[in-house]
Amino acid sequence: MWRGWILHFAAVMLSLVLVMPEPALGAHLTQRDWMKSLVAGLGLSFGLPDEPEDADYLRILSGRRNLRVEAEEALHPESLVSIKDFPHFGPFSGSGWVSGIAMPTTAHLSFLLPLRGTYEVSVVVRLAEHVIHLGGQEFVAAGGHEFTRVELGSVDLEAGLQEVIVHLPPNGAIDFFELRAADFTAVEPLGGWRLDRLLMREDLAATALRALDLLDSLPAADSDLLFEAEDAPEQGGASVVSIRYLGAPSGGSWLRATTAPAEVILPIRVDRPGVYRLNLTGVGNQPSGVQVNDEPPRKVAWPSFLAEASVGSFFLDAGEHRVRVDLPPGSGLDVLRLQKLSSDAEALTRLCGLVGGFGPAQAGEVDDLLALLAGLGAFF
């Protein structure tokens, strides 16, 4: 209930704030200008290096929060350790690894974290009793004779420069750190960033809808596309069944996981690019994981009988796509339905309340939109 109220409030606020007169003549903005303004306006600049490049801004707005830190790249040069690259202790990542000496020593490392969050941290080390300080916490990592991955646990980190202190045992070694947190939804125009392109009003609208998770509020357009689960080429151990006491399946049969989980891969094809609402008909008493292409995974829940549930809306280019559904034991999947939503310039700008015609975005509109997104806590 609260989520629906918040989304309704966001849509209303967009309409109130973004009703602008016809754009005045003047210098036009590019998508690069909008990208940089978004990072600054949303308070995300702490995750940028001192001299940021386009890729640094794009990384933040991608929402990806999986980072590997190579110890040899993050190492402070004054640390009393060495960098080696021979494979005597098993495969290693990157160009080399950091080696201790014949007595206990300390390595100082630093790296830039693009986005804040609660991260699960793991490290690859060799030998026991590495004591690691990160984010105000102390961890102990014990490896074997060869390089060993060790899960350290979770730590709350703010975006920006991170300092790591590693106390190595005699002849200890460290290869890399890995930090993992759930990804955010990417904030970008439909079809992605084209940085040198003129910034249009529909780009502003689409980016705002993504940041506020309002793509699903676009009106329905054409007829639906159906994909039967039992036709999936990769069924991950699920069985094709035709039982009907849980409901009448589409096409007469459906997929059901056995006593083990099943990973079902459904290839889908759309002929036209646009925003599509993904609906899945299934059954199960536990939530199932759903991932479309490389988008952040989502969850879907069904009752104990065949029923349809919405996963949300996604922008899909024309062509082939991949939907992965992770079914818990006993759960089932019947059909995937894609509902095309209106996502042309008129539909996008109308939903955001951008009136006064189409065309290039103006600086005042950008400022008003940034103030709204920051006020609503968009993106993070």
SS (H, E, C) 215-227: HHHCCECCCCEEE
- Structure-block tokens of residue 146: 């060869």
Calculate mean pLDDT across residues 197-221: 92
Q: Is the pLDDT of residue 14 over 60?
A: no
| Mean pLDDT (whole number) for 158-180 | 97
Which regions of the chain does DSSP assign to beta strands (E)?
A: 66-70, 82-84, 97-99, 105-113, 117-126, 130-134, 137-141, 148-157, 160-168, 173-180, 225-228, 239-241, 254-256, 262-270, 274-283, 288-292, 298-300, 307-316, 319-327, 332-341
Query: How does strand 173-180 pair with strand 160-168?
Result: unpaired
**In this predicted structure, what is the pLDDT of residue 225?**
95
Tell me: pLDDT of 153 over 70: yes
Name the more confident of 11 and 182: 182
Cα–Cα distances (Å) from 353 to 17, 289, 334, 358, 359, in that order, read 8, 34, 38, 12, 14
Judged against a pLDDT cut of 80, whether residue 123 lies above it is answered with: yes
Model pLDDT for residues 323-374, shown as the tens digit of each residue = 999 999 999 999 999 999 999 999 998 888 776 667 898 888 888 888 888 8
Q: Please, which pLDDT band fits residue 380 given cuts at 50, 70 and 90?
A: low
For 145, 214, 303, the CA distances from 342, given in Å and listed in that order, are: 59, 13, 30
pLDDT digits (tens, 9 = 90+) for 47-61: 999 999 999 999 999
pLDDT of residue 320: 97
Lowest mean pLDDT among 168-177, 208-217, 283-292: 208-217
**Alpha-helical runs (H) found in the chain:** 2-17, 31-41, 54-62, 71-74, 201-211, 345-352, 363-375
* pLDDT over 60 at 4, yes or no: no
Which one, of 118, 186, 175, 183, lies nearest residue 149 by Cα? 175
pTM (2 d.p.): 0.86
